[in-house]
């Protein structure tokens, strides 16, 4: 038996060493002993980071839904697979057993087929956190369609860009969504997006808020009516291990979003294995990850990883402060949550409120608490560890990315001693290294550099949809033969890693990755704007907030700045979504540039962060005088 569940530190080191020395045996044994394959693989791994090309379990055949659903029916058919907690605490929670999940996924899969979707087709999913969201992912996987979930906070423009990029044939949405005290007209956003998406043939609409929506004849259909007529049996499409399972868009530092492509076999093995170990998962646990399925955390650690382990996974529709700041803890008490996984921005927001919101509830069911999405600062770490974990549920700070598919660096609870703000050690199979700017590996301890990975792991994204060259340029060109993460990290004296943040033009705001270029592109569409530059600056709840420097055209001069600020944020909301709104906007007569015309964001970032004492040498700039102006007019 392979050591699927690591229980002591010595065992971790032993397993880790094996995973590095004999990666193929290691991942071969895990895949063999814990999953259902319709055909065995011919080769565990073939790879070439230069091309780049990575294949895991080549030749193997499987369907991931057989692993996530069917195989649990015999032993755990009546166990709750998905526990849905609605936005409104007075609405009853819904327990969906594995048996019921099987039926609902199959019905949905049959509806997809009846509506012209088959293997390899792309289906865009734009839904709130309701059971239909998880079920629609699985229904696509059941028939081999490729799902592309777009977070239901993105705007119509952002949605249509993503639909067109991967040429989705169908969109699955709902009439609207509940978010705290608000309702959001999702169908209206979809209608607007679909004005410029010729590839979309049909739209399935789930009912959630019972609003009056416009249903376009010949294109839109109510989902429930179709499900009611569909059979609860749908044979799984047998897929190759390397067939795409899904596309998920992530922001890049330049231009349009990158459609990261994840494939089937390796993704399944890695998310299941890491779920088991990072959350110390046991059979009767009730696991809750507060992320939205619109992000990778929800894909891997609400849907696929937990279900592949036969777990009970909670889906929460609401927000942490509705009806009050105690909601998370009320849910922990109510469902006796054993593992709780959230983002630092949520922790910081909750830590600002009265402690009574936490102390009112019994959190004694918890045994592991987790963090993901951005560096967790020391204060938030301690607040979480003391008040939620009560100093006896290990806090796992998990570092990973949309591109990595699964958790890469993390303590293993009850195994790896934790240190505040450290993601600690690589999981088995992960070979991190630190590089300097010249391309040399930084060896030793107590050093910092750019975080790279030396060797493939099973859930690495295989390409960017429709743009393999960009995949190569972004991840495999900075350093020869290495995957470059875009993050900086330091390694301490015991070899623990601490992530220091992005080293590129991606800014993480409230846990959402935002590229500066798409925001600048949106602002520059304003008729009065000549040019703009976005940088991040520290914010005590969001982690980072956005600071925009904007220069106006002649036509914009003399216009009221407060009105312009509103209009600029409105344009950003339309192009990307409210998450990308700027906290501060400063109008300036110019932006500092190098002699080759490149905007010096480094200087702008320092000014935004009030670090004007060490701006470095600005004499080589094209327009050094502008720096002084910016400093003097900053509010």
Footprint of ligand WTA on this chain (CB under 6 A)?
250, 295-297, 371-375, 397-402, 423, 485-487, 499, 502, 508, 513
CA dihedral 194, 198, 204, 208 (to 10 degrees): -10
Whole-number minimum distance, CB 517 to ligand WTA, in Å?
A: 17
CA distance linking residue 337 with residue 67, whole number of Å: 24
Q: How far is the CB of 131 from ligand WTA (least distance, A)?
A: 23
Please identify, using beta-carbon distances, which residue of 83 and 296 lies nearer to ligand WTA. Answer: 296
Handedness of CA 296, 508, 462, 29 (dihedral sign): negative
β-strand pairing of 432-435 with 447-453: antiparallel
Taking CA atoms, 75 is separated from 99, 103, 275, 474, in Å, by 11, 16, 20, 45
Based on CB atoms, which residue is closest to ligand WTA, 296 or 346? 296
Nearer to ligand WTA, 230 or 372 (CB): 372
In degrees, rounded to 5, the angle at the alpha carbon of residue 202 between the alpha carbons of residues 169 and 153 is 80
Report d(CA 109, CA 64) in Å as an integer: 14
Would you say 175 or 403 has its CB closer to ligand WTA?
A: 403
Q: Which helix (H) or strand (E) holds 172?
A: strand 170-174
* Cis, peptide link before residue 168, omega less than 30° from 0: no
CB 292 within 8 A of CB 177: no
Separation between Cα atoms, residue 368 and residue 74, nearest integer Å:
29
> Nearest approach, Cβ of 5 to ligand WTA (angstroms)?
22
Nearest residue (CB) to ligand WTA, 67 versus 398: 398
At closest approach, how far in Å is the CB of 52 from ligand WTA?
18
Residue 262, phi-psi category: left (phi > 0), alpha (psi -120 to 50), beta (remainder):
beta
CB 378 within 8 A of CB 498: no
Work out how close the CB of 311 gets to ligand WTA at its nearest, in angstroms, rounded to a whole number.
19
Closest approach of Cβ 509 to ligand WTA, in Å?
A: 11
> In this complex, which beta carbon is closest to ligand WTA, that of residue 285 or of residue 374?
374
From the CB of 353, what's the least distance to ligand WTA, in Å? 23
* 502/581 with CB nearer ligand WTA: 502
Q: Which residues contact 91 (CB under 8 A, 6 or more apart)?
A: none
Looking at the Cβ atoms of 236 and 486, the one nearer to ligand WTA is 486
The distance of closest approach from Cβ of residue 484 to ligand WTA in the complex, given in angstroms and rounded to an integer, is: 11
Kindly report the backbone phi and psi dihedral angles of residue 212, in degrees, each rounded to the nearest multiple of 5, phi listed first.
-85, 110
Nearest residue (CB) to ligand WTA, 166 versus 402: 402
Instruction: Give the nearest distance from C-beta 370 to ligand WTA in angstroms.
Output: 9
Angle CA 224–225–226, to nearest 5: 90
């Amino acid at each position: 038996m392979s050591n699927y569940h690591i229980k002591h530190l010595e065992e971790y080191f032993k397993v880790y060493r094996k995973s590095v020395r004999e990666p193929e045996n290691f991942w071969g044994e895990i895949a063999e002993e814990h999953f259902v394959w319709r055909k065995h693989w011919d080769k565990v791994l073939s790879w070439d980071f230069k091309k780049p090309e990575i294949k895991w379990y080549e030749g193997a055949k499987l369907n991931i839904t057989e692993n996530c659903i069917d195989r649990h029916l015999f032993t755990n058919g009546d166990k709750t697979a998905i526990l849905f907690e609605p936005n409104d605490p007075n609405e009853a929670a819904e327990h969906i057993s594995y048996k019921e999940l099987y039926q609902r996924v199959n019905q949905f899969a049959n509806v997809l087929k009846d509506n012209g979707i088959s293997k390899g087709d792309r289906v865009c999913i734009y839904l709130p956190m309701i059971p239909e969201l998880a079920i629609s992912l699985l229904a696509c996987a059941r028939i081999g369609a490729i799902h592309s979930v777009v977070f239901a906070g993105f705007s119509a423009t952002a949605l249509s860009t993503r639909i067109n990029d991967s040429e989705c044939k169908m969109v699955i949405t709902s009439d609207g969504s509940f978010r705290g005290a608000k309702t959001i007209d999702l169908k209206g956003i979809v209608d607007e997006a679909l004005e410029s998406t010729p590839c979309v043939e049909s739209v399935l609409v789930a009912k959630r808020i019972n609003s009056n929506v416009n249903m376009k004849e010949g294109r839109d259909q109510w989902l429930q009516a179709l499900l009611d007529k569909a059979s609860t049996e749908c044979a799984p499409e047998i897929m190759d291990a390397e067939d795409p399972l899904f596309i998920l868009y992530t922001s890049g530092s330049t231009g349009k979003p990158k459609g990261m492509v994840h494939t089937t076999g390796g993704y399944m093995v890695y998310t299941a294995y890491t779920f088991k170990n990072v959350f110390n998962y046991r059979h009767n646990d009730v696991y809750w990850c507060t992320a939205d399925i619109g992000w990778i955390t929800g894909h891997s650690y609400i849907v696929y990883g937990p279900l592949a382990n036969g777990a009970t996974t909670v889906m929460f529709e609401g927000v942490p402060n509705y009806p009050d700041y105690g909601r998370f803890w009320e849910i922990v008490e109510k469902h006796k949550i054993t593992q709780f996984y959230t983002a630092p921005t949520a922790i910081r927001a909750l830590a600002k409120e009265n402690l009574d919101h936490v102390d009112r509830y019994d959190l004694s069911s918890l045994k592991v608490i987790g963090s993901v999405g951005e560096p967790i600062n020391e204060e938030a770490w301690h607040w979480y560890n003391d008040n939620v974990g009560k100093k006896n549920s290990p806090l796992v700070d998990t570092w990973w990315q949309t591109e990595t598919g699964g958790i890469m660096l993390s303590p293993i609870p009850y195994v790896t001693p934790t240190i505040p703000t450290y993601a600690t050690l690589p999981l088995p199979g992960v070979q991190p290294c630190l590089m300097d700017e010249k391309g040399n590996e930084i060896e030793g301890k107590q050093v910092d550099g750019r975080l790279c990975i030396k060797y493939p792991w099973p859930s690495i994204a295989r390409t960017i949809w429709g743009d393999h060259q960009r995949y190569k340029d972004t991840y495999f060109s900075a350093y020869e033969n290495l995957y470059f993460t875009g993050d900086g990290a330091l390694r301490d004296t015991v070899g623990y890693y601490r992530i220091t943040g992005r080293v590129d033009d991606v800014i993480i705001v409230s846990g959402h990755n935002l590229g500066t270029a798409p925001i600048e592109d949106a602002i520059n569409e304003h008729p009065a704007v000549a040019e703009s530059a976005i940088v991040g600056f520290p914010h005590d709840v969001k982690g980072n907030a956005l600071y925009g420097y904007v220069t106006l055209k002649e036509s914009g001069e003399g216009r009221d700045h407060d009105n312009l600020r509103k209009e600029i944020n409105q344009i950003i909301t339309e192009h990307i979504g409210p998450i990308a709104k700027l906290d501060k906007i400063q109008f300036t007569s110019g932006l500092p540039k190098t002699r080759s015309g490149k905007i010096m964001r480094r200087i702008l970032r320092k000014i935004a962060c009030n670090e004007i004492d060490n701006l470095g040498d600005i004499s080589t700039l094209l327009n050094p005088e502008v720096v002084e102006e910016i400093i003097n007019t900053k509010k």
